[in-house]
Amino acid sequence: MKQNNDFGTWACMAMDGSIERTAAAPEGAEEERLRAELRHTQAELARLRRRFALLSAEASLLSGTLAAVYASRSWRITAPLRAALTWPARRRQAPRTGRPAPAPPPEGGLEGAAPRVSVIVSQQPAQAGAALVETLRQSGAGVPFEVPLPRSPGAARVPEHEGVRTFAAPEGAGPAARCNAAAAIARGAFVALWDGVSPPLPGWLAALESCFSLCEGVGMAGAALLDGAGRIAAAGATIGPDARLLPRGAGAPATHPDFAHVAAVEAVPLGALMLPAALWRRLGGLDEGFGALAPALTDLGLRVAETGASVVCSPFARLRTAPPPPEDWATAEGRRRLRRQVAHFAAFDPPRTAPRRALFVDHFVPTPDRDSGSADLHGFLRIFVGLGYETTLLAVHDLDRADTYVDDLRRRGVRVVAGGFYRSLGDFLAREAVPFDLFMVYRATLAEAPLLDMLRRHSPQARLVFNTVDLHFLRLEREAALAQSPALLDEAFRMQQRETAAILRADCTILLSPVEQRLVAELIPAARTRVIPILRDIPGRTAPFAARRGVLFVGSFRHRPNVDAIVEFVREVWPLVRRRLDLPLTVIGADPPPEVRALAGEGVVVAGYRPDLDALLGACRLTVAPLRFGAGLKGKIVSSLAAGVPCVATPMAAEGMALIDGEHVCLATTPSEFAAAVVDVHEDTELWERLSRGGLLLARETYSLAAARWRIAALLDELGLPAGPDSDGA
């Protein structure tokens, strides 16, 4: 086969993912009638799914418009007028709590927009009001807050601008009643209880608040407590049979992987915690029958758990704490009361089983803003946490890593084995006493027999899933054909042997498209496979056609197909575009090699790695995917469609994605066709709008995290594992 710069030559090597095998003709009229009814039902279901996707996309577009309005200067300027117009209506609303005593009116406070968090000081603070607010301001990481404080008779008023709202506490009130009285005047979306004596470390408020947006189903989030040496004093707690709190991780380093991620706990000890104000009101606040605060907080956490929400501890919210004083009578009496509650749960509630455990094994910690494979792994980890699995990531070549990529996963509830605590996978497994229920191993370059056997020995009953990321041997075969390289062809054969061995050893193999699934079925008929396409967040369209300009190429340049694609595109296609339009082409992607950096000039900007992909997709008018070889699915196309940005692609780039030319993307084979498509999409408003809407609908229906979650749940069910927090499995 001769090398050719014509895109169509290499597109013909891709297998047609749209071919369907037709069933044999039915033998009886009744069977034919049933088949016809089934086809009709399937067609109707497909129509309803398309209608739902359309409505979802329209809602997403409206959400983007509303977000722009809320962020505008005019909306901020008119805030006082809107508040004045709605104030009478707010006053007429019935109270949302069932408390018999009315809330005490505020005697001081702030004007303007409501704060995000109302910080209630649960104990007598060691600082005066102004100094206390300054401590919170310095440690709160910019989170807008207020502090409702009880006003002592004869005490000087704290200036309103200090962030304090004062109220008259009920006479003779205990600590729980004082907290409830403070919460009654709170205006924040969240209520945070802080003991007022344990100094918070910077960022604690933002860290607690982020638990509710980054993790599913969180009802209460607590801070980790550090001792004077900076080691863990309590990373949450478990509740003993005598209702005494047993601290998690006491004495361990603060960076220990077992306690460095947001994790579900049974209770949160005194220090700091946060929950949504709406949930606080729904539960009625703290039980004032407790004479001490510690058992009242434990009781609150138990009631949060009864709603089905989780109680978590965030190691990113940290407080310095002194050793607790000896237990007083009020606390002991509260524990006695709690013992009855704990015993009731043990006697009458169904036994709570330990969460299922999943271990993900890859070469490196995912960097989702740098390459498509990382974005896919990142999404898988988030989905498994959401399904109720205790999810661990071990990156065998990144065990010393400690950076924002590790922290991002830990904030989302993923236990990341990093920071140099383990030397190898074997070292980790040797110290991991509890078996796993699922292993997911990524890439044939890692899924070798010694590693898979090591996992099997540790947890013989666990299911082992091999995630190919893409079929490496198929990509290498196509590159070899393009370059006419015997050496690459031999490399492809060796990779095929490795991937085949991994598929045979696994309980199931994840492939990205039906194209790859059919190929594996031909090579290994006994293979058990599942198609789970790549997954992405779906941000939706953020700017209209008229507000955009230019062309964008996205791709990690450690991936050879991307280097080949952009070099050939700039050499063969871009000059044809520039003859008709004076447009900028922006090339972004990590680690551009010299041949890519040399493309800069003549309307081409080689920007390298850019963390602001969403902003770039919001400003360009289209993206290009001129790939001439490869395998799997292309994250650059999915990310473009998910942002409502049309894409011009080769058939090779679009392989296995069920993309319709002219409805979801524009497909082009030769350089002249590709250049004409770029110009048409850039200049034709009607074409651009049609592609933007169609691509966004497809992305939402096929490549969203919600769609992937459904497919992963089906895979787990097939493997006999639970597909959710409340599922018993097989």
pLDDT tens-digit map of 237-294: 999 989 999 999 999 999 999 999 999 999 999 999 999 999 999 999 999 999 899 9
In this structure, the answer to whether residues 418 and 284 fall within a common structural domain is no
169 and 279 housed in the same domain: yes
One domain, residues 364 and 427: yes
Q: Name the residue with higher pLDDT: 5 or 515.
A: 515
Residue owning tokens 């949930």: 279
Same domain, 684 and 583: yes
Answer whether residue 210 is part of any domain. Answer: yes
pLDDT at 445: 94
CA distance 453 to 440: 13
- Among 302, 323, 348, give the residue marking a domain's end: 348
pLDDT score of 96 = 27
* Other Cβ atoms closer than 10 A to 584: 12
Backbone phi and psi for residue 383, each to the nearest 5 degrees, phi listed first: -65, -40
**Based on the number of CB atoms within 10 Å of its own CB, is 657 exposed (0-12), middle (13-18) or buried (19 or more)?**
buried
Q: Is residue 302, in this structure, part of any structural domain at all? A: yes
Q: What average pLDDT does this structure show over 462-469?
A: 97
pLDDT above 70 (res 230): yes
Are 274 and 183 a contacting pair, CB within 8 Å?
no
361 in the same domain as 340: no
Q: Could you tell me if residue 52 is inside a domain?
A: no
Is residue 436 in some structural domain?
yes
Claim to verify: residue 341 and residue 484 sit in the same structural domain: no
In terms of Cα–Cα distance, which of 380, 566, 329, 362 is closest to 444? 362
Does a structural domain hold residue 45?
Answer: no
d(CA 723, CA 216): 15
Task: Give the residue among 4, 74, 3, 7 at the shortest CA–CA distance from 626.
Answer: 7
Number of domains in the chain: 3
Identify the band that residue 133 occupies on the pLDDT scale cut at 50, 70 and 90. confident
Write the DSSP string, 596-619.
HHTT-BTTEEEEE--S-HHHHHHH
331 and 250 in one domain? yes
Residue 198 lies in a domain: yes
CA-based nearest residue to 669, from 624, 626, 640, 623: 626
SS3 content of the chain, % helix, strand, coil (to 5): 45, 15, 40
Residue 399 pLDDT > 80, yes or no? yes
Regarding whether 576 and 434 lie in a shared domain, the answer is: no
User: Of all helices (H) and strands (E), which one includes residue 245?
Assistant: strand 245-247
Burial 523-556 (b: 16+ CB within 10 A, else e): eeeebebbebbbbbbbbbbbbebeebebbbbbbb
Domain C-terminal end among 531, 557, 573 = 531
Q: Is residue 545 over pLDDT 70? A: yes
CB 292 within 8 A of CB 330: yes
Domain boundary among 330, 348, 366: 348
**What is the CA angle 370-373-379, rounded to 5?**
95
Do 384 and 527 lie in a common domain? yes
Determine the structural domain holding residue 516 and report its residue range.
357-531
Q: How far is CA 207 from CA 162, 201, 203, 210, in A?
A: 23, 11, 6, 5
What is d(CA 600, CA 517) in angstroms, rounded to the nearest whole number? Answer: 39
Q: In the predicted model, what is the mean pLDDT of residues 363-367?
A: 96
Q: What pLDDT digit, counting tens, does each position of 85-112 carry?
A: 333 332 223 222 333 333 333 333 334 4
CATH assignment of the domain containing 282: 3.90.550.10
The DSSP secondary structure of 125-142, one letter per residue, reads -SS-HHHHHHHHHHHSTT
Residues 526 and 562 in one domain: no
Residue 610, judged by CB atoms within 10 A of its CB (0-12, 13-18, 19+), counts as middle
Kindly tell me the sign of the dihedral angle through the C-alpha atoms of 247, 250, 254, 260. Answer: negative
- Residue 25 is assigned to a structural domain of this protein: no
Same domain as 154, residue 234: yes
Residues 425 and 389 in one domain: yes
Residue 8 pLDDT more than 90?
no
Across 49-60, average pLDDT: 49
* pLDDT bucket at 61, cuts 50 / 70 / 90: very low
